[in-house]
Structure 1
């Protein structure tokens, strides 16, 4: 399951960076592949260790900041040509954050906490051994009045 989610993240990051950096900012495919592999490996390690403890929202915010900084740093060293690196990094990190939210949901449901039937979940209680109580009817008669008062 870890391998499957890793490749899902790699494909997502590569497609997002290819669309944003390649189509809009003219970055070469080799630079996009190198950036996507480094962002995926470093981000996946963070997802595996931090996501179970901090949750989807904070992990996605952390991925945004991490992706923004990493794309900006890598871009300043390996991207050729003058591009608006801050804008490109921000847009790419924003798109990656939106994709990461769905990937985190997948990882939480399939890797960290496998789905369990409802009767095995903690906090769920349903009695399945209900029985009907049978008893004989008892007739209660009111006390009889005596004629002692006359």
Structure 2
């Protein structure tokens, strides 16, 4: 796992999260760009460290996606309350942002699994092992003849 590969994944996640946070919170709450940038950056870091590096590697794509929804909701809700004006209800926007982030997470998880799998780094394309199945040679006319006479 190279440092550049981690930066590439972090960049992709940051762009997705920043677009959602800037569009939802920037339009509705008229928040400052600096506050929205910090929310996006912190949510990206939390999501990547806990969801992608820990949960995805141990439990798989589905569990990591479900966990990312919870992580995204809690982190956006808490950071929204911290960085935005007090008294503003951010829970509905946090749920909305978490939902849309969760829609894109399985694609990011697949990309991460393809980039960081052990076989991919060694040059092998898959982890699955394939086997060949052998059968006895049969005469096609013998099989056709048995079907005509009702023999099995």
- Normalising TM by the smaller chain, what interval? 0.7 to 0.9
Instruction: Tell me, in whole angstroms, the C-alpha distance in 2 between the residues paired with 1:57 and 1:25.
Output: 32
SS at match of 1:89: helix
Q: Does 1:124 align with 2:137?
A: no
What is the TM-score with the length of structure 2 in the denominator? 0.73
Instruction: Tell me, in whole angstroms, the C-alpha distance in 2 between the residues paired with 1:102 and 1:117.
Output: 18
SS at match of 1:13: helix
SS at match of 1:21: helix
- Identify unmatched segments of 5+ residues in structure 2: 134-152
Match of 1:63 in 2: 68
Q: Does 1:41 align with 2:45?
A: yes
Q: Does 1:96 align with 2:101?
A: yes
Q: Higher relative CO (CA 8 A, sep ≥ 6), structure 1 or 2?
A: 1
Match of 2:14 in 1: 10
- Identify unmatched segments of 5+ residues in structure 1: 128-150
Match of 2:78 in 1: 73
Could you tell me how far 1:43 is from its partner in structure 2? 1.1
SS at match of 2:31: coil
With over 3 angstroms needed to count, the CA separation of the structure-2 counterparts of 1:122 and 1:57, relative to structure 1, is closer
Deviations 1:21-45 (A, max 9, x none): 1123322211110001101111111
Structure 1 or 2, whichever has the larger Rg, is 1
CA contact (8 A) 1:64 1:97 kept: yes
